[in-house]
Structure 1
Amino acid sequence: MENVDKKVEEKLRTFDDEKKEEILANFNHFKQYLSGKVEIGEKMGLSEERLAQITQKVADYLAKHEEPKNREEYLLQELWKVGDKEEQHMMAHMLLKLVKQE
């Protein structure tokens, strides 16, 4: 699974700025994008817990390196910043739950 972590980190560092802007500009686009990635992860056989760990890594990166583009992202970022690691992990599970309902 360490290989998956490295791939996630590399993807985050090299993500095309234009594509990133397109995804983050609208919260529904962000949810659709995340939903697609979750679906791919499930097809690869990743467990709910592993998906939450990856989601947590992505959310942590976004909170540290990206400015929110809308109110929903601003709220998520603020909640992320005030949460401890356990709360952030639970929030990652909740994000997964949210996008799976789409």
Structure 2
Amino acid sequence: MSILESFDDWKHFLASRVTQAASSGMNRDTMENAAYQIGSYLSNQVDPKNDEERLLKELWDAGNDEERRAMASVMINYVQNKKQ
């Protein structure tokens, strides 16, 4: 099963990658830029596998560049602060 099949699996995967990036010394701006690029890729290339992913894609597609960057930043905050 792909990590994109389950939104919980996706959140855990993203959280572990954010933790790994931070512990490797990656700064917040670099993490946000990577999250933005991943969000763009997913929106353009991957069909949402569940309702949560579909909502994120629709929000992403509705936003402008600044709003998409804000969403990427919020996703980082979400997985860093979420009790998993």
Answer whether TM exceeds 0.5 for this pair.
yes
Name 1:36's counterpart in structure 2. 16
Aligned runs of 1:1-102 on 2, under 5 Å?
Answer: 22-102=2-82
Unaligned segments of structure 1, at least 5 residues: 1-20
More helix by share: 1
Normalised by the length of structure 1, the TM-score is 0.77
Partner deviation per Cα, 1:26-79 (whole Å, 9 max, x = no partner): 000000000111011101111112111100000100000000001100000001
Amino acid at match of 2:64: D
Amino acid at match of 2:37: K
**RCO comparison, higher one (Cα < 8 Å, 6+):** 2
- CA-atom RMSD in angstroms: 0.9
What is the rounded CA distance, in whole Å, between the counterparts of 1:95 and 1:68 in structure 2?
16
What is the rounded CA distance, in whole Å, between the counterparts of 1:84 and 1:56 in structure 2?
12
What is the rounded CA distance, in whole Å, between the counterparts of 1:27 and 1:48 in structure 2?
23
What is the rounded CA distance, in whole Å, between the counterparts of 1:101 and 1:24 in structure 2?
21
* Segments of 4+ moved more than 6 angstroms: none
What is the rounded CA distance, in whole Å, between the counterparts of 1:30 and 1:52 in structure 2?
17
What is the rounded CA distance, in whole Å, between the counterparts of 1:58 and 1:50 in structure 2?
12
